[in-house]
């Protein structure tokens, strides 16, 4: 270790320059060198003395504190307004997610585990009943635009809700005039008659 230090010193610190070349921006002719000794006298420069005594110190301090309080109050108001806007957005988002959840439940493929879970939503939470009833009417209005598989799944789902008395039967007022060829498949799945067990 000591031998390495002596070797570095003998090489005049070539590998360890005082100023790395990447940081040496000042040309040699523009460099200024100051020689200072510890016991040399120096002339004070009043221009560089930044401190000035303030005759109205107490009054200025009061004004500064008053300004700080006003600024902080303004910032608090801004923060409060931003927080309230964020809360409003959050509430709106939650309401939107509730509606999306209803559609998601309808859109998911029918499985034996999904049916009881979907039935529990309107039974346990009464606010879901209104959503599902509106959803039933909405799906009936757009059934002609659904694919056969989706139409079948939606019909099976609402059949399950109707038979479980989770939604009101008053929604199903159907006659020959209210049905057309496009919704026939939907009603065949809603009120199946292929097997005596399904009727």
- pLDDT at position 124 is 53
Q: Is 24 inside any structural domain?
A: no
Domain that holds residue 180: 103-198
Q: pTM of the predicted model, to two decimals?
A: 0.32
Q: Is 97 inside any structural domain?
A: no
- pLDDT at position 47 is 64
Q: Is 67 inside any structural domain?
A: no
- pLDDT at position 199 is 47
For the chain, how many structural domains are there in total? 1
Q: Which residues contact 146 (CB under 8 A, 6 or more apart)?
A: 139, 154, 186
Q: Is 31 inside any structural domain?
A: no
- pLDDT at position 137 is 75
pLDDT under 70: residue ranges of the chain = 44-50, 99-127, 164-166, 169-199
CA angle 9, 11, 13 (to 5 degrees): 65
Q: Is 30 inside any structural domain?
A: no
């Amino acid at each position: 270790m000591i031998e390495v230090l002596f070797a570095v010193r003998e090489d005049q610190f070539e590998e360890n320059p005082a100023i790395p070349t990447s940081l040496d921006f000042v040309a040699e002719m523009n460099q200024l060198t100051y020689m200072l000794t510890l016991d040399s006298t120096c002339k004070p420069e009043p221009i560089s003395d930044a401190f000035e005594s303030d005759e109205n110190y107490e009054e200025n301090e009061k004004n500064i504190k008053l300004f700080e309080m006003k600024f902080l109050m303004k910032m608090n108001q801004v923060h409060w307004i931003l927080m309230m806007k964020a809360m409003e957005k959050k509430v709106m988002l939650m309401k939107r997610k509730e509606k999306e959840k209803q559609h998601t439940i309808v859109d998911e493929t029918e499985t034996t585990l999904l049916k009881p879970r979907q039935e529990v939503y309107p039974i346990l939470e009464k606010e879901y009943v209104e959503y599902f009833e509106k959803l039933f009417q909405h799906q009936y209005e757009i059934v002609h635009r659904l694919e056969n598989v989706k139409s079948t799944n939606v019909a099976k789902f609402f059949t399950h809700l109707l038979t479980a008395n989770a939604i009101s039967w008053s929604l199903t007022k159907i006659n020959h005039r209210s049905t057309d060829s496009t919704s026939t498949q939907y009603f065949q799945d809603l009120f199946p008659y292929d097997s005596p067990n399904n009727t």
